[in-house]
Amino acid sequence: MIQPSVSIVIPAYNESTRLAPLLLGITDPGIEFIFVCDGTDNTADIIRDYSQNHPELNIVCLSFPHRLGKGGGVYAGFRRASAPLVGFMDADNSTPVSELIRLHVLIADYDGIIGSRHLPGQVLQRKQPLTRRIQSRLFNGIIRLMFGLPYHDTQCGAKIFKKDVIDGVLPYLHSKGFEFDVELLWHLKKRGFSIIEVPVIWNDTEDSRLRMADTISMLITLFRIRTNTLSYDK
């Protein structure tokens, strides 16, 4: 197996019915795809079968008997990654693999690059329902005020970073859930790393795992992180 140019981490919690488009999009043997499975269905079996049938591809499947959460899954994948660049994406393929490949080429002189659904130039193949769009914009506005982040979209599932940069901030991250993206970007900003935001192709899968209760939980956790009242051991 050749040394990969980038390792892409994909948290995969009970994703058996949504994996096919993502797996079919994996064609480059020079990119390492690390699936982190922590659910109760046969997601890990599907990934391992696909990997065995396509030995030319660099597909890794990590399985855990307990729920890690999105952040916990990305953290585990980052620790396993072997490439000089690392990133993560959503298992629902809302931002396709081809976009992650494009981003890792664009990173160049930056420490990281994140995709955005809200910048001019984005391509929304299927928009979110209006209520979800309003929820997303409100969340982003609160995050901007709370953390001083300049980004238009912290939650888009398409991010690539230099691995040495990520290794430097991982020990300081606390969150295990969907709020992981915000905490990661906040620590990178505090340390002066250069992160560029670019428009991407994005598609609403109409089967989002994020509910209003999750958004409220995210905000509570982020408030505790911001006020230094949350801690947890990796």
Token pair, residue 218, equals: 């995210």
pLDDT of residue 139: 82
Range name among 72-76, 95-99, 138-142, 220-224 with the lowest pLDDT average:
138-142
CB distance 214 to 178 below 8 Å: yes
> Quick one: the chain helix, strand, coil %, rounded to 5?
40, 20, 40
Q: What are the φ/ψ torsions at residue 224 (nearest 5 degrees)? A: -65, -35
pLDDT by residue (tens digit) across 116-137?
Answer: 988 887 777 666 667 777 777 7
Report yes or no on whether pTM surpasses 0.85: yes
Token pair, residue 163, equals: 């691995």
